[in-house]
């Protein structure tokens, strides 16, 4: 028995030595976000009939969102770097990904949980001090459905390749495989998986302060089960920084499969950096659905102030004719403080 223990300890020591020779590191970081949220639009007040939520029954408006992010990386013999990361928010995984940095060949990332792929990386490039104009906007007061229309997407689970060609050009290509089985190892597609998402974008920095970009792609349509059915997504944007002011303009278009219906979304925004610690911003949104006579409109204000590892932030978004339906109104106000550690 003693000899067996000795052999086991010797093997363990050898394993530890081999592991320590690998150039890697693991870090843990976290945030705590305390917020007060109020929804006051017509649809928000009407509540969600299915769940029985009505006026005065919206519960506690105070909330605490806490997250821990784990990341580890190591360098391979050929100089490439492999890193893995996972974020736990309120005890649930919200981000699990692996990245292979191949140096001059670019970087390949795989997300198994949530992460924009391809064109989704540039779906909203408008400047903001806090959240974008669509944050908290809801079509029926349920808190989980609806939202603003016409935003392009490249999927959330799958591959994304990026490469900086020069100081002024960046390209990105995304592939989100079709799936109904989730992202666990060995998961297989089943009936209703639909089509895969394929998209890409190009960013250009032609002069100091100016950035322009264009993205195109195909995404699975709302009709499940046929891998040949895809919607066409396109977006183009420009942002310009001049001193403390940043302005931006973006147009997006979604052509729906099998119909003449399409969404044409227009957004613009402006941000003013009061100083290194404080910023304020404004965003405007409009979506024209060719199948409906009413345009969806929204606007949002936001501000942030940072001191050390603490950030105070506030935003207020309002939406009219949400989902291009008359009298669908939603208003979202959120005040919060975030601590980073």
Euclidean distance between CA atoms 6 and 15, whole angstroms = 14
Phi, psi of 43 (to 5 degrees): -70, -35
What pLDDT, on the 0 to 100 scale, is given for residue 52? Answer: 46
Distance of CA 168 to the CA centre of its chain: 24
Collapsing DSSP to helix, strand or coil, 3 comes out as helix
What pLDDT, on the 0 to 100 scale, is given for residue 260? Answer: 72
Euclidean distance between CA atoms 296 and 292, whole angstroms = 10
What pLDDT, on the 0 to 100 scale, is given for residue 201? Answer: 97
Euclidean distance between CA atoms 210 and 311, whole angstroms = 28
Torsion over CA of 121, 316, 296 and 217, rounded to 10 degrees? Answer: 0
Length of the chain, in residues: 341
pTM of structure: 0.83
Q: What is the DSSP letter of 136?
A: T
What pLDDT, on the 0 to 100 scale, is given for residue 46? Answer: 58
- Token output for 154: 């490249």
Neighbouring-strand partners of residue 89 = 67, 92
Euclidean distance between CA atoms 155 and 216, whole angstroms = 13
Rg, C-alpha atoms of the chain:
23
Residue 227: name the closest of 199, 252, 255, 257 by CA. 257
What pLDDT, on the 0 to 100 scale, is given for residue 191? Answer: 54
List of domains in the chain:
99-182+194-340 (2.40.160.10)
Euclidean distance between CA atoms 322 and 43, whole angstroms = 9
Q: Per-residue pLDDT tens, the chain, 341 aa: give them.
A: 444 333 343 443 443 343 334 456 788 888 888 888 887 766 566 555 444 444 444 557 888 877 888 889 888 888 899 999 888 876 666 778 999 999 999 999 999 877 899 999 999 999 999 999 999 888 766 655 568 999 999 988 899 999 999 889 999 999 998 765 555 555 554 555 678 899 999 999 999 999 999 999 998 876 555 566 788 999 999 999 999 999 999 999 999 887 777 999 999 999 999 999 999 999 999 999 998 889 999 999 999 999 988 999 999 999 999 888 888 888 889 999 999 87
Euclidean distance between CA atoms 10 and 5, whole angstroms = 9
What pLDDT, on the 0 to 100 scale, is given for residue 5? Answer: 37
The answer to whether 179 and 193 are in contact (CB under 8 A) is yes
Helices (H) and strands (E) in the chain — how many of each? Answer: 2, 16
Phi, psi of 263 (to 5 degrees): -110, 130
Euclidean distance between CA atoms 300 and 134, whole angstroms = 8
């Amino acid at each position: 028995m003693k000899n067996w223990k000795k052999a086991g300890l010797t093997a363990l020591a050898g394993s530890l030595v081999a592991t320590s020779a690998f150039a890697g590191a693991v870090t843990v970081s976290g945030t705590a976000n305390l917020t007060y949220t109020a929804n006051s639009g017509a649809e928000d007040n009407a509540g969600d009939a299915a769940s029985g939520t009505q006026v005065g029954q919206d519960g506690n408006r105070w909330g605490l969102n806490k997250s821990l992010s784990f990341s580890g990386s190591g360098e391979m013999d050929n100089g490439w770097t492999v890193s893995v990361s996972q974020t736990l928010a309120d005890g649930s995984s919200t981000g699990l990904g692996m990245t292979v940095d191949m140096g001059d060949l670019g970087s390949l990332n795989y997300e198994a949980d949530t992460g924009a792929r391809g064109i989704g990386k540039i779906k909203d490039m408008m400047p903001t001090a806090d959240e974008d104009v669509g944050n908290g906007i809801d079509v029926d007061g349920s808190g989980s459905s609806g939202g603003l229309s016409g935003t392009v997407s490249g999927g959330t689970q799958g591959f994304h390749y990026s490469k900086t060609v020069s100081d002024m050009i960046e390209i990105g290509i995304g592939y989100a495989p079709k799936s109904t089985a989730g992202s666990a190892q060995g998961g297989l597609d089943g009936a209703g998986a639909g089509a895969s998402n394929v998209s890409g974008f190009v960013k250009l920095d032609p002069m100091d302060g100016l950035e322009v970009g264009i993205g195109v792609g195909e995404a699975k349509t709302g009709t499940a089960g046929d891998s040949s059915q895809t919607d066409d997504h396109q977006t183009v944007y420009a942002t310009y920084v001049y001193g403390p002011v940043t302005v931006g303009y973006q147009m997006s278009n979604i052509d729906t499969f099998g119909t003449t219906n399409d969404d044409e979304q227009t957004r613009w925004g402006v941000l003013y950096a009061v100083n290194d610690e404080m910023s304020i911003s404004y965003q405007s949104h409009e979506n024209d659905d060719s199948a409906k006579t009413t345009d969806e409109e929204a606007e949002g204000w936001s501000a942030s102030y940072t001191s050390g590892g603490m950030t105070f932030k506030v935003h207020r978004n309002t939406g009219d004719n949400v989902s291009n339906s008359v009298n669908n109104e939603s208003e979202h106000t959120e005040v919060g403080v975030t601590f980073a550690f």
